[in-house]
């Protein structure tokens, strides 16, 4: 299953990217929401130009694609080129989407929003919404149709055991005392779970119930991760930093040359050891074993500028799809 997500994380030097999502880095004041009433969620507007809105993440539902982004917009496509907007019960920025099978999917975003579909992305219902919380979810992952996790800013972490009918706050001593921004979840080749976030945070778990920190020696935010082999992982973050470990349970981290100093948010495995990475200010690069980083230039038909910020990346039907501020774009086709 494809699951590559947009990773807009946190740290004082990444304020620009965070303001794009409305997330303050730690150390910047949050509004005191304790005394504020919690208004009900508002449905997203059906917009003629929805396909050109900022999109943050994409997942596969059967033979179709489902993407989410700004203003609660949910898009579906059968070919990755023509996109149709689905009704959405929230009008806030959605950051991530995950499908556990052809029909059941969840999307998460601002105002602690969690929405669910049972029909492959055609219709959605609200499972969690708390505008007064003032914290966004950044990622969501389900182990099966019943057991799921959602993580976000300022230590926001909820789990469900019943398909999202109820969501419960979760805390783990590994990171709950500092409440860092939790940016991305992924499942490794051996089935274990991995979480990355602020201040070089990497943690692993066999079941999502107990987490172990895996020190990286890196103090910047990490925004995305993908499995490498059975026990390994690649992670990317601020200022072009990328690292890889062959076995994350006893990691020896190897720095990866990315050819850029721009913050990196998206990762996608293209097979054959090749990995695509995307980030700020036009950073879009193909990493091939034994070769220097290769900058990718989208075709003119994509309508993207040299300063485009690339969020989540997904490889589907030999196409590398990128989440951008102008919708989902095909930026590379594998020969």
Give the pLDDT score at 169: 97
Q: How confident is the model at residue 35 (pLDDT cuts 50, 70, 90)?
A: low
Mean of all residue pLDDT scores within the chain: 90
Domain boundaries, given as residue ranges, for the chain: 3-21+53-333
- Averaged over 116-137, what is the pLDDT? 96
- For the stretch 294-326, pLDDT in tens is 999 998 888 999 899 999 999 999 999 999 999
Got the DSSP string for 134-190? ---EEEEEESSSS-EEEEEGGG-EEEESSTTSS-EE---TTTTTT---EEEEEE-TT
Residue 154 to residue 38: CA distance in whole angstroms: 19
Q: What value, to the nearest 5°, has the Cα angle with vertex 171 and ends 147 and 184?
A: 65
Residue 287 to residue 294: CA distance in whole angstroms: 6
Residue 66 to residue 59: CA distance in whole angstroms: 5
- Whole-model pTM? 0.90
- For the stretch 240-266, pLDDT in tens is 999 999 999 998 999 999 999 999 999
Topology, domain 3-21+53-333? Methylamine Dehydrogenase; Chain H (2.130.10)
- Averaged over 31-49, what is the pLDDT? 79
Q: Please report the beta strands in 274-318, taking only residues with DSSP state E, as ranges in sequence order.
A: 274-279, 284-287, 294-295, 313-316
């Amino acid at each position: 299953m494809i699951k590559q997500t947009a990773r807009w994380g946190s740290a004082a030097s990444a304020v620009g990217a965070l303001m794009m999502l409305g997330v303050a880095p730690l150390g910047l004041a949050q509004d005191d929401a304790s005394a504020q009433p919690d208004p009900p969620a508002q449905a997203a507007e059906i917009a003629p130009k929805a396909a050109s809105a900022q999109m943050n993440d994409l997942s596969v539902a059967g033979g179709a694609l489902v993407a989410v982004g700004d203003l609660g917009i949910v898009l579906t496509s059968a070919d990755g080129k023509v996109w149709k907007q689905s009704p959405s019960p929230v009008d806030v920025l959605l950051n991530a989407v995950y499908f556990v099978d052809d029909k059941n999917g969840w999307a998460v975003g601002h105002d602690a929003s969690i929405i669910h579909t049972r029909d492959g992305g055609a219709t959605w219902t609200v499972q969690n919404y708390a505008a007064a919380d003032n914290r966004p979810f950044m990622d969501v992952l389900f182990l099966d149709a019943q057991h799921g996790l959602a993580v976000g800013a300022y230590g926001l972490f909820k789990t469900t055991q019943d398909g999202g009918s109820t969501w419960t706050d979760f805390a783990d001593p590994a990171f709950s005392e500092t409440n860092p921004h939790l940016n991305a979840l992924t499942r490794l080749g051996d089935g274990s779970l991995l979480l990355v976030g602020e201040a070089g945070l990497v943690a692993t778990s066999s079941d999502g119930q107990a987490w172990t920190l895996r020190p990286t020696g890196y103090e910047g935010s990490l925004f995305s991760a993908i499995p490498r082999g059975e026990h390994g992982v690649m992670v990317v973050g601020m200022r072009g930093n990328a690292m890889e470990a062959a076995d994350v349970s006893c990691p020896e981290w190897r720095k990866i040359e990315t050819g850029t100093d721009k913050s990196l948010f998206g990762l996608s495995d293209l097979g054959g050891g090749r990995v695509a990475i995307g980030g700020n200010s036009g950073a879009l690069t193909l990493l091939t074993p034994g070769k220097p980083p290769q900058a990718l230039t989208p075709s003119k038909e994509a309508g993207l500028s040299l300063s485009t910020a690339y969020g989540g990346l997904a490889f589907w039907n030999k196409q590398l799809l990128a989440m951008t501020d102008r919708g989902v774009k095909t930026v590379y086709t594998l020969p």
